[in-house]
Amino acid sequence: MDISPFPEGYRGSGLLLHVTSLPTRYGIGDFGPSALTWIDRLAAAGQSVWQVLPLGPMGFGNSPYQLVSTFAGSEFLISPDQLIADGFLLSTECGGHSFPLNQVDYDAVKDFKTQLLEGAWQRFKIDSAAEMREAFNAFCQIEAEWLDEYALFVCLQMRFKSASFLDWPEAFAKRASAVLDEARQDLAERIDRVRFGQFLVFRQMTRVRQYAKSKGIQLIGDMPFFAAPNSCDVWANPEFFLLDEHLRSTFVAGVPPDYFSPKGQHWGNPIYNWEAMRVTKYDWWIRRFRTLLKSVDIVRLDHFRAFAAAWHIPASAKSARKGEWLPGPGAEFFELIRQELGCLPFLAEDLGLITPDVNALRDQFHLTGMRVLQFAFDGDAQNPFLPQNYDHNTVAYTATHDNNTTRGWYEELSKKERRLVLKGLQQRDVRADEVASEMIRQIWASTAALAVTPFQDVLNLGTEHRMNTPGSAEGNWTWRCTPEMLAPENFDWLHELTSSAKRC
């Protein structure tokens, strides 16, 4: 029988904060000193997990759920400080730039990091130690199955000045072997540069994971369910997606109206061809899991319900309301994954419109589910998001990256809705500046194996500090905390709560 990553009797807690939100002087959080400081703060506060969002190269809208590759890491997350420490850069090469302190300017960060990595690449080629060169060559060999395709894809994007491979010359879009072989020769130098960037990303991710382990902190990573339409994944594996003869999607992903979005969500991602994947025994997925598990300990399965059934929207439809549920790979998929990995270190994101087949699939493999307290207050005492209704094999949240901050959420409620919140929390009155700490207290006191809250809720921050608004294409994924927010005293009350709740 499979067990959850959180066995019977386990009581832990942690914080949700994406790497990009860490404070640095380089415009974006990264895998450098601030990540280690963050881990120190978690450990000192008695926490046991750090949950992050997907770590791959962001595509449309800078969303970590619309990745250029579901295998690769984001070069944006490479720490200049660590490059200096490793001898790839001089400190003088990293100065002279000014960035916003409380948000990410992705365009400015891209220009800055690209320039730095070009310098690091030139120094590596001319003056790298034999040990470092051997490590680079070993990485390229071990990861070749995805790395070579990704590096070529990125170089072709630059050659044709287009993120979408559908805009490339047809021979390149449809992967004619002769033109790709020629491109690999012509672009060999740039392909190696892309490989080098991935070597640095994974090298730094590994260092952070090892440091977290030394402090008793597990990393919860995140695997997007769908591949982005303009991704290396689709270009390199068109047979695994429902595409027409022009490589355009026949159906796209989304969800009908639910509590995240009253109009539904039209994501536009291509839908998988599960029959083609089944023939390969889901090898592409297995390789995805193996790659991600080199950097994290537990994988959050985004949009878990699609493993049971996904909402298929006709490509011509302009609204997510039009579509139908069609089956996913189901139990067979997880049986094969278990055989290959030897375990199922997964957290199932079982939110949204959940039907009995989704719960049955989760429970068949004893996967840990999610409960979000902001969804609990409809007046029904049996609401599954109320803490008294949790079972142990659960990760309880005040909110997720898709929710408003808890204080912002409460401030926007009507008087009637606030009364329902007070009833659900079994409180006579809670002020807006108290609701986040009260809701953290309640999930920490619950029977859930793991309790997690976004760092914004620990700091009692309002709507302006929200990370993402589902269904909105602008203004997301930019939030950063300042160095002052990581002051040790901001974690003292969390340590006391964690200790009293016996989650240390």
421-433 tens-digit pLDDT = 999 999 999 999 9
Q: What is the reported pLDDT for 96? A: 85
192 in catalytic set:
no
Q: So what's the pLDDT on residue 355?
A: 94
In this predicted model, what pLDDT tens digit does every residue of 372-401 receive, in sequence order? 999 999 999 999 999 999 999 999 999 999
CA distances from 216 to 49, 132, 209, 384, 504 (A): 8, 29, 10, 31, 11
User: 57 near 71, Cβ under 8 Å?
Assistant: no
Burial category of 132 from C-beta neighbours within 10 Å (exposed 0-12, middle 13-18, buried 19 and up): middle
- Asked about 302 being catalytic, the answer comes back as yes
131 in catalytic set: no
User: With contact defined as beta carbons under 8 Å apart, do 348 and 368 qualify?
Assistant: yes
What does the pLDDT read at residue 3?
Answer: 62
Region 111-125 average pLDDT: 96
Q: Do the beta carbons of residue 251 and residue 271 sit within 8 Å? A: yes
pLDDT digits (tens, 9 = 90+) for 288-318: 999 999 999 999 999 999 999 999 999 999 8
Mean pLDDT of 250-267: 86
CA angle 149, 226, 154 (to 5 degrees): 25
C-alpha pair distances (Å), 19 with each of 142, 174, 301? 25, 35, 18
DSSP run (H or E) holding 41: helix 33-44
| DSSP label of 51 | E
Among 217-221, 412-416, 471-475, which stretch is predicted with the lowest mean pLDDT?
471-475
Point out the catalytic residue in the list 143, 192, 350, 402. 402
Give the confidence band of 257 by pLDDT, cuts at 50, 70, 90. confident
| From 222, 302, 350, 457, the catalytic residue | 302
Number of H helices, E strands in the chain: 18, 12
Rounded to 5 degrees, what angle do the CA atoms 374, 377, 383 make? 100
**Could you give the CA distance from residue 347 to residue 394 in angstroms, rounded to a whole number?**
9
Say yes or no to pLDDT of 455 above 60. yes
Confidence of residue 414 (pLDDT cuts 50, 70, 90): very high
Per-residue pLDDT, averaged over 130-135, amounts to: 94
Tens of pLDDT, residues 141-162? 999 999 999 999 999 999 999 8
Average pLDDT over residues 267-280: 97
pLDDT tens-digit series, residues 167-212: 999 999 999 999 999 999 999 999 999 999 999 999 999 999 999 9
Write down all domains in the chain, each with its CATH number in brackets. Answer: 12-500 (3.20.20.80)
Strand partners, 15: 50, 453
pLDDT at position 260 over 80:
no
The one catalytic residue in 349, 357, 433, 464 is 349
Looking at the predicted structure, is the pLDDT value of residue 2 above 60? no
Residue partners of 223: CB distance under 8 A and separation at least 6: 54, 70, 288, 289, 292, 299, 300, 301, 302
Lowest mean pLDDT among 247-251, 350-354, 379-383: 350-354
pLDDT given at position 1: 45
